[in-house]
Structure 1
């Protein structure tokens, strides 16, 4: 039978006199600066609902699993949990996941950003430095197959195609069903986006913002997908969607991504640009042209000082070049 760790993410604010300091694993509302991963403090209380966690633990225990619930309030505490998934020591000294591990991990998530925080630590744990790349690592990957994780949504009622990542992937939401998937289900491998700021993307990113009145703020930047140029830096861009899954497939009813698929080994990118046309009597009409491309990597070079973005729901500002690339099948979820 399996040892199962049920991991929830808290913050230092949960401790007496504590605050959600930089480097902590916040429950939500974190922000991300360009090139940095440390979340900034917010006024949101980081309280994790306990009922789904306890219900899942009871279901696991009833099946004979040995269960431990852990609340991690920092990256270091997340890493302590992930170390249980390590393989025995390798001759080359690299830390590597154990494909035959009898320990299984469930991440209780209030937001997709929390799941992303755990996957980011998995990548940092198991990605070998380029100078020590082993021969048994696939040529199109920079990380080995990461250990599958179970996903326990802390809002079981939330669903829909524009919902959280668990809803998009059709994962079980009921705590007992999650427990059954982890013990009896199969591992579904999914693509992972890495970026040159040291982070990862599970769902996607949306670059652009609106003013206080809801009107879009145009920005300029060069957007390239492999060898295809979607914007040379001169166009006023309404939005740029970088999709692994479908969370940013549309914006206010404007279709951006056509067929985002987290299992196809490519990233889909769309850029929406306003185009002015003239009708009868010289009247102007604005329509939006959406340019799309698919490939292994995308690079965005902003020409404006700062471009706001959302990456798996985490807010940030892009002030210099950022590249994302696909790690096909790098991570996995337990599913029924």
Structure 2
């Protein structure tokens, strides 16, 4: 990136509240290397307006995975992500930066800011759904649930209560499968009468790489351009966001429709 490039630095309000020092450092590094316009939106609407009015400036988001997802979603709806590139300086707790790490964004504030100035653009695929949402890295159907470990005292109490209420101990494992109908490019992979434990999808190499795990059977690996899931109300997890319950959703691969500025080393290791 040359000194004559102009940056639109959009600082997510959550990043400002959570880590003002990292925000300050990122601003200093970026301002020292390029002409910058700083935007401090107070919410999603102002965030969208700032991005829409970027003109010829290169957008740089300071924030977590949700801020990145918001920016890419807006660009995809404009259908201008194919022409431009987005940069991210990740600011937030580690559990809110899983997508950024998976995409190759440096975890450190200074390293990420320097990558904005000196890195190169990598064209990336995404999954677009029929409700206007996008998936940048990983889709889980149904949504995977990550539960925080219970405190020992609470856990022991729960176990004692279960032993008291359940006598004798149950001998059968409850059916934990999900009843879903899954189609890939119109081909039926599983119907609602065959329970599945779950499914993971990633957009890679211009196709959706799908891993379907039937209950009590080996995983099934498939690639497709379009994926449709139907069934009783289910939630899905797109990157770090969990949806509301739906009964049907279709995802389509959009190859290379957005660009992310990454360090040259990250690009070399992905080839």
1:150 to 68, 87, 91: 87
Cα deviation for residue 242 of structure 1 reads 1.9
Runs ≥4 residues deviating over 6 A:
210-216
Separation in structure 2 between the aligned mates of residue 64 and residue 291 of structure 1, nearest angstrom: 48
1:115 aligns with 2:68: yes
- Pick closer, same or farther for the CA change 1:317–1:84 going to 2, 3 Å: closer
Q: What does the per-residue CA deviation read over 1:237-270, in whole Å, with 9 as the maximum and x for residues that have no partner?
A: 11121223xxxxxxxxxxxxxxxx3xx0111112
Cα deviation for residue 226 of structure 1 reads 1.1
Separation in structure 1 between the aligned mates of residue 92 and residue 148 of structure 2, nearest angstrom: 30
Unaligned runs of 5+ in 1: 11-26, 29-45, 87-100, 128-142, 245-260, 276-287
User: 1:334 maps to which residue?
Assistant: 261
Q: What does the per-residue CA deviation read over 1:177-202, in whole Å, with 9 as the maximum and x for residues that have no partner?
A: 22322223211110011110111111
Secondary structure at the aligned position of 1:289 is classed as: coil
Give the TM-score, by structure 1 length: 0.62
1:229 to 181, 188, 192: 188
CA RMSD of aligned residues (A): 3.0
User: 1:9 maps to which residue?
Assistant: 12
Separation in structure 1 between the aligned mates of residue 234 and residue 176 of structure 2, nearest angstrom: 10
Is contact 1:216–1:238 with CA below 8 Å preserved after alignment?
Answer: no
Cα deviation for residue 72 of structure 1 reads 4.1
Is contact 2:135–2:239 with CA below 8 Å preserved after alignment?
Answer: yes
Secondary structure at the aligned position of 1:68 is classed as: strand
Secondary structure at the aligned position of 1:47 is classed as: helix
Secondary structure at the aligned position of 2:218 is classed as: strand
Is contact 1:6–1:53 with CA below 8 Å preserved after alignment?
Answer: no
Structure with the larger helix share: 2
User: 1:135 maps to which residue?
Assistant: none
Count of aligned positions: 235
Cα deviation for residue 144 of structure 1 reads 5.6
Separation in structure 2 between the aligned mates of residue 212 and residue 172 of structure 1, nearest angstrom: 27
Q: Which has the higher contact order (CA 8 A, sep 6+)?
A: 2
2:101 to 159, 163, 167: 167
Secondary structure at the aligned position of 2:105 is classed as: coil
Cα deviation for residue 155 of structure 1 reads 4.2
1:190 aligns with 2:149: no
User: 2:50 maps to which residue?
Assistant: 81
Is contact 2:138–2:201 with CA below 8 Å preserved after alignment?
Answer: yes
- Pick closer, same or farther for the CA change 1:211–1:217 going to 2, 3 Å: farther
Note the 1:28-39 alignment, pairs <5 A.
none
Separation in structure 2 between the aligned mates of residue 147 and residue 224 of structure 1, nearest angstrom: 33
Separation in structure 1 between the aligned mates of residue 230 and residue 234 of structure 2, nearest angstrom: 10
Cα deviation for residue 109 of structure 1 reads 2.4
Q: What does the per-residue CA deviation read over 1:19-53, in whole Å, with 9 as the maximum and x for residues that have no partner?
A: xxxxxxxx59xxxxxxxxxxxxxxxxx93322222
Give the TM-score, by structure 2 length: 0.76
